[in-house]
Amino acid sequence: MTDSAAGVEMLDIFDDMGRHVGVKPRDQVHLAGDWHRVFHCQITTVRDGVPSLILQRRSQLKAAFPGLLDLSAAGHLAAGELPVDGVRELEEELGVVADPNDLVLLGERRLVDDSGEGQLNKELTSVFILRDDRPLDGYVLQTSEVDAVFDAPISGLLQLFAGDLDTIELSGVQHAGSPDAYPVSISANLEDFVPGDSYWVNLFVMCERFLNGEQPLAI
């Protein structure tokens, strides 16, 4: 929900037990360190028989973690929205118009950081998986949020986060969906990812299970 008169993004806030306690402007939520709802979605695919993820590289314009690799799409849920309403983030950031019924909910995870924007960020994060097999140049990036997308083999990501590899080679498309799009290749190490080692590893494992048709799936 946005306060149309002031153009202010409003968020639902929650207590430590997850009970709804009110609504506040987004900037005040972060300043106060209030729990609020966030949508995460990791796109999965299979490239030449290899289970893979679509990672985004955050724009250098972002206040939090500029230029780092992140999951496919994420964003705050406005006041009154349900977790599945975050599907709009896929269209806004990547040009993916997804049916909410195709989203697979892994569950809700509490994520806390104080290193992104210099404020305490306490998120009740609903985590979803979506399979989408389009090529990387089929994405249309919101360049103020995302500057590139990459194919990332899950097996290599697991090796990297286990310490068995120092770097992983990733192929991607910079500015996908725009006239100035071009292919890019990078060697990524752990410092190139948004912080959250245990969350990343759990997400990798669940995405691999999902692509292999295995159950249960949980985060």
Q: How confident is the model over 70-112, as pLDDT tens digits?
A: 999 999 999 999 999 999 999 999 999 999 999 999 999 998 8
Contacts of 44 (CB under 8 A, 6+ apart): 51, 52, 53, 54, 129, 130, 131, 132, 207, 210, 211
Q: Which residues of 183-219 are buried (b: 16+ CB within 10 A; e: fewer)?
A: ebeeebeeebbbeeeebbebbbebbbbbbeeeeeeeb
CA distances from 169 to 59, 94, 182, 207 (A): 20, 22, 17, 19
% residues pLDDT > 70 (the chain): 95
Confidence of residue 61 (pLDDT cuts 50, 70, 90): very high
Give the count of beta carbons closer than 10 Å to the beta carbon of residue 47: 15
26-33: list long-range contacts, CB under 8 Å, 24+ apart.
26/76, 30/117, 30/119, 30/120, 30/121, 31/119, 33/119, 33/120, 33/121, 33/122
Is the model's pLDDT at 5 over the cut of 50? no
Domain topology for 2-211:
Nucleoside Triphosphate Pyrophosphohydrolase (3.90.79)
Q: Distance between CA atoms of 186 and 167, rounded to whole angstroms?
A: 9
CA distances from 79 to 14, 44, 151, 195 (A): 11, 29, 33, 27
Tell the residue number behind the tokens 């972002």, with chain if given.
62
* Per-domain residue ranges of the chain: 2-211
User: What pLDDT, on the 0 to 100 scale, is given for residue 204?
Assistant: 98
What average pLDDT score do residues 178-207 get? 96
